[in-house]
Amino acid sequence: MNKEKRAEIFRRFKLANPQPRTELAYETPFELLIAVMLSAQATDVSVNKATARLFPIANTPQGLLDLGVDGITPFIRTIGLFNAKARNVIDTCRILCEQHDSSVPNTRESLEALPGVGRKTANVVLNTAFGQPAMAVDTHIFRVANRTGIATGKNVLEVERRLLRLVPAEYLLNAHHWLLLHGRYVCQARKPDCPNCLISDLCEFRTKTPVPGKPDGQSAKASRTAGDDTPGGPPGRDPDGNTAGKGAREDAGKSGKGTSSRTRLRARRTAAGHSASGKNGNA
């Protein structure tokens, strides 16, 4: 993809949604860190439900440390891997209290030294809480970057590095959210909503979903496997190792009804800049 096309894609994303937000609810960097830690292999909706009950009880490192693993487990029991996450949260809180004056550090090195905090979580916190142009490449961003041709790569690190190099500087700060929301609601794994995609004429995906009633010789079936557009990746698997089916189920979990009419409505709203926001409206 040439740089003019790439710039036009982000110009449109910005026009449609000038201030994209994470869908995780949070009010402080610490709440964001905890929410992102809990969100691994879980939906934002499920995390928001848990933190809506947990944070009013305790939303500081010392507060959660006082609750302990047994104290926070009942709040996060509905989230996958809750036992391991509870332990990581408490261990992280202890380190924040002992080594960081109960604050969330704003460097990658310090963040990744925290239990349960990997590169992706660190990138989300650096970008969303501290305004750094970091790129947290998840399964959605990996898929969109590869399908469109914005930044192709065999693995998430490759795509992350290319995005940081190729996305025009003026769009770098928000690129992560635009790409994620586009992948979650429009360019979905199983059946991308190409007919309603605002960058369809710029996207270089070879097997776009045809406009209903106007077959273009390429069936949407051809794009049903997320791995189709994953260079070098095994067919049907995304960068997190999920199968296409699992990716689709994840999408379904985010929107509640998969590729239903409700999802399609949401896709159009997202394209128009009405994405759901956090509880404080500035997440």
Query: Exactly one of 44, 85, 120, 251 is catalytic; which is it?
Result: 120
CA distance 10 to 183: 14
Longest C-alpha distance within the chain, in Å? 63
CA distance 124 to 250: 19
CA distance 25 to 68: 22
CB nearer to ligand SF4: give 117 or 145: 145
Q: Does 192 bind ligand SF4 (CB under 6 A)?
A: yes
CA distance 43 to 182: 16
R_g over Cα of the chain = 19
First vs last C-alpha separation in the chain = 31
Q: Does 189 bind ligand SF4 (CB under 6 A)?
A: no
Query: Exactly one of 14, 44, 85, 138 is catalytic; which is it?
Result: 138
Q: Does 271 bind ligand SF4 (CB under 6 A)?
A: no
The CA distances from residue 105 to 21, 61, 97, 112, 114, in Å, are 21, 13, 11, 10, 10
State the residue for tokens 């979650």.
184
Which segment (33-41, 154-162, 192-200, 268-276) binds ligand SF4 by CB under 6 A? 192-200
Q: Does 21 bind ligand SF4 (CB under 6 A)?
A: no
CB nearer to ligand SF4: give 208 or 237: 208
CB nearer to ligand SF4: give 148 or 275: 148
Least distance in Å: CB of 267 to ligand SF4?
9
**Contact 222/228 with Cβ under 8 angstroms?**
yes
Q: Does 247 bind ligand SF4 (CB under 6 A)?
A: no
Coil, helix or strand for 48? helix
Residue 138 annotated as catalytic: yes
Residue 120 annotated as catalytic: yes
CA distance 199 to 216: 18
Q: Does 230 bind ligand SF4 (CB under 6 A)?
A: no
CA distance 188 to 238: 12
Q: Does 152 bind ligand SF4 (CB under 6 A)?
A: no
Least distance in Å: CB of 161 to ligand SF4?
21
Q: Does 40 bind ligand SF4 (CB under 6 A)?
A: no
CB nearer to ligand SF4: give 178 or 205: 205
Which residues of this protein are in contact with ligand SF4, per CB under 6 A? 147-148, 186-187, 192-194, 197, 199-200, 203, 205, 208
Catalytic residues: 120, 138
